Each structure stands twice: as C-alpha cells, then as structure tokens.
Structure 1
Amino acid sequence: MLSHPRKILLTGGTSGIGRHLVDRLCDAGHQLVVLGRSETALARLKAERPAVAAYRCDLSNQQDVQDAAALIWADHPDLSVLINNAGVQFTPQFHQAGFRFDSIGYETTVNFLAPVWLTALSLQGLLAHPDGGHVVNISSGLAFYPKTTSAVYCATKAALRSFSQSLRYQQEGGVRVIEVILPVVDTPMTQGRGKGKMPAATAADHIMKGLRRGRPEIYVGRARLIPLLAVLAPWLIRDILRHG
C-alpha cells in the first residue's frame, strides 16, 4: 500500500497517534491532507509540517463533514487513502456523577458515524484512483471484548469493526479496507489512565509496518494476542479487557 507516494486523508492528525503518523508518512514521501477540529492545533501542525494541507472540520457535525469532504475532494481529486483515526472516549459510568447525557451522541458520532460518512463521501473518488484506493479504520481490542468503563466507546469500536468487515465484502476487487486493532496507547485521550500503555510513537511505527505489508487486519502490540486467546482462553482475554 505504501510502496510508492500516495496522497492521504487523515483525521485526528494534530495529536496522539495521528500526529506521529503525519511525521512518518511525510518522511516516507507521502502527501498528507489532515482534518482537525482545532484551528490552533492545525496552525501548529502547518508550522511544523508546511507541506501538509490542513482543513478544519467538526466530525460530530454531519453538515461540517459533508462540506469539508466536498472541499477536500475538489482540491485533491488524486487522494487514494482515507485513514479514519480520530476518536474520543469518556470514562464515567452511566450511574456516576460525571456522566453527561450529551456525551452519548458525541462519542457515537465522532467514533463511528464520522468514519462511515467520510467513507461514503470518499468512496467514488477512491475507486477512481488508478493505483487503487484504501480505507484504513483505526480500531481497538475493545471492539472484541469491552471494558467496564467507556461502554459507548467500546460499542462504537465494535460497530466500526463490523462496518470494516462488511465494507471489505462489498469492495472485493475495489477499494481495499484495512482495520488497525490497537492496545491501550498513551495519548491525550488516555491521559491519567493505568500503566503499561504503548507510546503513541511506537503505535505509529507498528501501523506503518502493517500498512507496508498490506494486511487487511493489523494487530498492534498486545492486541496481537486477541485472536489466539479468543480461541484458547476467551474467559481470560474477556477478564483482562473488562478491567482494562
């Protein structure tokens, strides 16, 4: 997939794993188009990486996504890769004081609906690319076995995994669909939670390695144990991730 220079649309490229992916992809000779919500963060990214094309977009707003996608495809009809990387996670349980009702819709939209919207809006352009198009969805081990906190987040990742699989069936011989399954990664989203998190830079390295190999499913770090344990000891992996 990354054997020759490509133009890539990446969401969530101003921080965390996405920011490291920007560096690695740019250094490998690819052109990046980045979607982000914060004008300040996008300006900082442009200062650090002037070659990056940056567009502001609130992924929780359908009209914003439609407008941004239309503008991006008008400006960059040669895009061949969409990486749905942006995500949010809220940890309060439903019965706890910190839980906010409006977080349900926001989390669901950013983590699941926005990737589906962008895929639908980009599919024809990706199909038309002479070198073949790719959709890369960044998912999580929690798509397989949820944890006690972040019930909505876990559900969105399970939905994104199911969507990735169905889209792959639909696109046999067309756009290639790749799913990245991550462990807990040390990002702003997971700040202050637990120990033993994979550094975001390391996660980006593993993703790049998997993309170069062209695998349809890229299991990163400890997530590589999920398929094996799901067969040999599903109770164990379920218990580990439940308390993750």
Structure 2
Amino acid sequence: MDINDSTVFIPGATSGIGLALALALHDAGSTVVVGGRRTELLEQIAAEHPGLGTVHVDTTDPASIQVAAEEVIARWPGLDTLVTMAGVMQAEDWHHPDGFLASAERTITTNVLGPVRLIAAFLEHLRSRPAATIMTVSSGLAFVPLRVTPSYNASKAAIHMLSESLRLQLADTAVRVVELVPPSVQTDLMPGQATNENAMPLAEFIAEVMTILREQPEAPEVLVEHVKLLRFGEARGDYPQVVAAVNASDPHGR
C-alpha cells in the first residue's frame, strides 16, 4: 500500500480510528473515500474536509454493500485499497440469554459478516488492479480476552484468522492482505473509552500507524508498540498475566 498514492475506500470511517486514518491518508496524498451509514455525518465530513469522497453504506445490509461497491468503483475506478473498518463493541452478560444474545448477533453481523461481504463485493475489482490491498481491522482483544466483551473478542479473533487465511489464498494474486491490530485507543467505541487513561491517544496511534505503513510497506500486520503486549503474550509465555492485567485495569471495555 502506497500511502502517498493510493485510492482507498474506508467504510465505517465517520468517526474514531476510521476517520482519523482517512484524514491521515488524504493528507499523505492518497485519494480517500469515506463510507458510513449516517447521511448527516457524511455531509458534515464532506463540508469540513474538501477532497474526501463520501458514500452511504450500511455494512450490516448486504444490498447496501453491493450498491456502495458499484458506486465506489464507478466513481473511483482507480480504487486499489479497501479498509474494512466498520465495527461495534458492547458489554455483555452471558449469565442469561437476554444479557447477550441480541448484542452477540449484532456484533457478529457487523464485525465478521460485514468485512466478509465487503471483501466479496470488491475482490474482483481489486484483483484487476496491478497492485491492491485489503486491510482488515482486528484488535489486541483478538489475542487476549476482555471479560465484559465476549462477542467482540471472538469477532476480532475471527478477523485475525480470516486475514491469515486470505493472505495465503491470495498469495498468487496482486492483492495483499494487511491486518491492522489496534490496542485500546481513545475513541467513543465504548462508554468512557475516550477518556480512559489506559487507552492510547488517537493522534498518537494514527501517527505510529502511518509510520509503520510508510517504513514497513510489506508488513503483514500493523502493530503499534502499545498492542504488542497483547499480541505476543502467548508466545512470550506470560499470557495468564496479561489476561489478568487487561481485565484488572480496563473495566470499560477496551
């Protein structure tokens, strides 16, 4: 992925990490298209950030994804990068079905089926490009569970293994699969997270991500230093200690 000269579609980029990454890539010289479900936010982004493209998409709706894909490819035929950013995270209580079932179904639909459907909608076009990138977005919680968010943890573990598998399957094509693995970042993903002192400031996270993309363009995973404690706990042999630390220090969710 050439951060200075790519054409990038980022569904789920109307706030948080998605919007910050979109702005950073745009500032670096790439053509960036932001996708989102809320029309008013897309209009606000277009007004505040001239040069950013916007497309309506609901990543929980297969029909909406297909319509958005057709629009993006028609308006930006040079598209060579898809970032499957959209995701939700909710606390759940699995002691009783009414404490988790609706949330679990919504989380899996958004965090797993959404990326799968997006990749399916764009893969043929990406394969037609001389070089292309699919960037998936997992989480440090794909590797270390947070007690209060079982479905989120599981969904991000699924995205990690999907990324690993697609990288193998698409090795004979010009499409690279890159996995972005955020740690806890100060966003509004969960209540209280934007002010959580244990979370990484958003600007610092994006700056480090951009440095990695610039200096390590062939890296299969984008790992900021802050996430490596979680990512490699099992390999280091201190996994139980990392699980205990994460669940002791971060009660709000990330």
Tell me the TM-score range normalised by the shorter chain. over 0.9
CA contact (8 A) 1:92 1:98 kept: no
Moved more, 205-214 or 45-54: 205-214
| Structure 2 CA distance for aligned equivalents of residues 227 and 102 of structure 1 | 29
Query: Out of 238, 241, 248, which is 1:236 matched to?
Result: 241
Aligned to 2:70: 70
Q: Displacement of 1:226 after TM fit?
A: 3.3
Report if aligned partners of 2:26, 2:32 keep a CA contact under 8 Å in 1: yes
CA distance in structure 1 between the aligned counterparts of 2:38 and 2:53, rounded to whole angstroms: 14
Deviation at 1:159, TM superposition (A): 0.5
Deviation at 1:181, TM superposition (A): 1.2
How many angstroms does 1:228 deviate by?
Answer: 4.2
Q: Distance in 2 between matches of 1:109 and 1:33?
A: 23
Amino acid at match of 2:36: G
After TM superposition, the structure 1 = structure 2 runs for residues 103-182 of structure 1, keeping only pairs within 5 Å, are 103-130=103-130, 132-174=131-173, 175-182=175-182
Classify 1:196/1:127 alpha carbon distance in 2 versus 1 (closer, same or farther; 3 Å): same
Q: Bigger shift: 100-109 or 199-208?
A: 100-109
8 Å Cα contact 2:233/2:239 also seen in 1: yes
Contact 1:31/1:52 (8 A) holds in 2? yes
Are the aligned partners of 1:17 and 1:201 in contact in 2 as well (CA < 8 Å)?
Answer: no
In structure 2, relative to structure 1, the CA distance for the partners of 1:196 and 1:83 (3 Å cut) is same
CA contact (8 A) 1:145 1:242 kept: no
Give the secondary-structure state (helix, strand or coil) at the position aligned to 1:103. helix
Q: Deviations over 1:61-91 (max 9, x none)?
A: 1111122112212222210001111211111
One-letter code aligned to 1:235: P
Match of 1:43 in 2: 43
Query: 1-side partners of 2:202 and 2:71: how far apart?
Result: 30
Residue 224 (structure 1) aligned with residue 223 (structure 2): no
State the SS of the aligned residue for 2:17: helix
Give the percent of matched residue pairs that are identical in Structure 1 and Structure 2.
32
Corresponding letter in the other structure for 1:102: A
Unaligned runs of 5+ in 1: none
Checking the alignment, whether the CA contact within 8 Å between 1:88 and 1:111 is kept in structure 2 is yes
Shift of 1:135: 0.6
Q: Tell me the matched-pair count.
A: 243
Asked if 1 retains the 8 angstrom alpha-carbon contact of 2:14 and 2:45, the reply is yes
Q: TM-score w.r.t. structure 1 length?
A: 0.92
Give the C-alpha shift of residue 98 in structure 1. 8.2
Q: Which runs of 5+ in 2 are unaligned?
A: none
The two structures have a TM-score, normalised by structure 2, of: 0.89
